[in-house]
Amino acid sequence: MLVSDNAKMLFIVNPVAGRIHPKSNLNHIMDLFKDNGYNLTVKKTAARGHATELVLKYGKHHDIIVCNGGDGTLNEVISGVMRLDKKVTIGYIPSGTTNDFASSLNLSDKIETAAMTIINGQPRTVDIGLFGDKRYFSYIASFGAFTGSSYSTPQSYKNLIGHLAYVLEGMKDIPNIRPYHVRVEAEGQVYEGDYLFGAVSNSISIGGLLKLDSNKVDLNDGLFEIILIKNPKTPFELSRMLLSISKKEYTDKLIQFIKAPEATFYMEESIPWSIDGEYEAGVSKVRIKNITNAISIMV
């Protein structure tokens, strides 16, 4: 990417993200940006939601906004950019525990490689999801089994043992796993049943556990990949379903795979959702909409 003289970069760093980089590494990255023509402003997040506040306060005065953190930090930056009254390119240096969105964009988790992608790469437009009226997500909104582990796992566990922390936290949910009766309207069709898990995604990786075929996922086609997993009644149904998931086929009769630009969910009870790994209170009805080519991110 060609940088004009004194192009302004806002660099937002989450100091408690999953893999904390040594200060010397961050200083090296800052020097790289400066050496390549960027006028740098660095801000550190101090609490959940702070990255959005920083974008809204400083973003309109910058040409590019770079964040160093996990998917949650990126979500906050995107949420701020979506509310700015100008188009600003985003750069992402992933340092979270799973980095699902970075995997979909083929971004490196090596800090210097990711920084050089921002310096030498090209901007790519990507779809963004809108959950309800005002909450944005970059890659997933989900409910049901193991969803809670994404937002309830203590940060200290994530930092210590990485993705395994999510798995261990999710195991606590096993005794309480039960299906939820949900009706979904999408593309003029109605899907209704008792579902263990549901996800509206724009990603090839979901929680680092479910993987979608990269040939079937386009991050800027205006469509979501919607997965609804019904409750298996027998061990045979469970093993058959797990085999389908492991092969990335999603053709089992207990799995409904839908591509649609939006969907409306009707819930019989207030089921909590996870939005890019962060908690969202349950609602009885929610419309989830795809905003096509909403942001521009360096790849």
Per-residue pLDDT tens digits for 102-127: 878 889 988 999 999 999 999 999 99
The total domain count for the chain is 2
- For the segment 214-232, the average pLDDT, to the nearest whole number, is 87
| Tokens found for residue 60 | 């309109």
Among 63, 98, 121, the domain-final residue is: 121
Contact between residue 144 and residue 184 where contact means Cβ atoms under 8 Å apart: no
Classify the phi-psi angles of 9: left when phi > 0, otherwise alpha if psi is within -120 to 50, otherwise beta. beta
- For the segment 216-244, the average pLDDT, to the nearest whole number, is 86
Q: What is the DSSP letter of 61?
A: G
Verify that 88 and 200 share a domain, yes or no.
Answer: no
11 has pLDDT over 60: yes
In a domain? residue 299: no
Contact between residue 59 and residue 84 where contact means Cβ atoms under 8 Å apart: yes
Per-residue pLDDT tens digits for 83-98: 998 899 999 999 866 6
Contact between residue 239 and residue 207 where contact means Cβ atoms under 8 Å apart: no
50 has pLDDT over 80: yes
Per-residue pLDDT tens digits for 277-292: 788 888 899 999 999 9
Verify that 62 and 151 share a domain, yes or no.
Answer: no
What is the four-CA torsion angle of 187, 283, 84, 51, rounded to 10 degrees? -130
Verify that 177 and 283 share a domain, yes or no.
Answer: yes
pLDDT for the residue 160: 44
Cβ-proximal residues to 140 (8 Å cutoff; 6+ apart), any chain: 100, 199, 200, 201, 202, 203, 206, 207, 274, 275, 276, 277
131 has pLDDT over 50: yes
Contact between residue 113 and residue 279 where contact means Cβ atoms under 8 Å apart: no
How many CA atoms are closer than 13 Å to the CA of 188, on its beta-carbon side?
A: 0
pLDDT band at 245 (very low <50, low <70, confident <90, very high): confident
| Alpha-carbon distance values, 25 to 68, 91, 130, 157, 260 (Å) | 12, 17, 35, 23, 42
Verify that 231 and 112 share a domain, yes or no.
Answer: no
Verify that 87 and 168 share a domain, yes or no.
Answer: no
pLDDT for the residue 262: 97
- Average pLDDT taken over every residue of the chain: 83
For residue 214, count other CB atoms closer than 10 A to its CB. Answer: 13
155 has pLDDT over 60: no
What is the four-CA torsion angle of 171, 109, 130, 212, rounded to 10 degrees? -60
- Is the whole model's pTM more than 0.85, yes or no? no
**Quick check: helix, strand or coil at residue 165?**
helix
Q: Percentage of the chain surpassing pLDDT 70?
A: 82
In a domain? residue 127: no
Q: What is the DSSP letter of 103?
A: H
- For the segment 10-25, the average pLDDT, to the nearest whole number, is 76
Give the domain range for residue 76: 7-121
Among 79, 94, 121, the domain-final residue is: 121
In a domain? residue 298: no
Among 60, 94, 121, the domain-final residue is: 121
For helices 71-82 and 50-58, the axis angle rounded to 10 degrees is 40
In a domain? residue 71: yes
**CA nearest neighbour of 102 among 203, 220, 17:** 203
CATH number of the domain where residue 29 is located: 3.40.50.10330
In a domain? residue 40: yes
For residue 175, count other CB atoms closer than 10 A to its CB. Answer: 7
- Tally DSSP H helices, then E strands, for the chain: 9, 17
> Which stretch, 200-204, 206-210, 211-215, has highest mean pLDDT?
200-204
Contact between residue 31 and residue 87 where contact means Cβ atoms under 8 Å apart: no
Verify that 113 and 259 share a domain, yes or no.
Answer: no
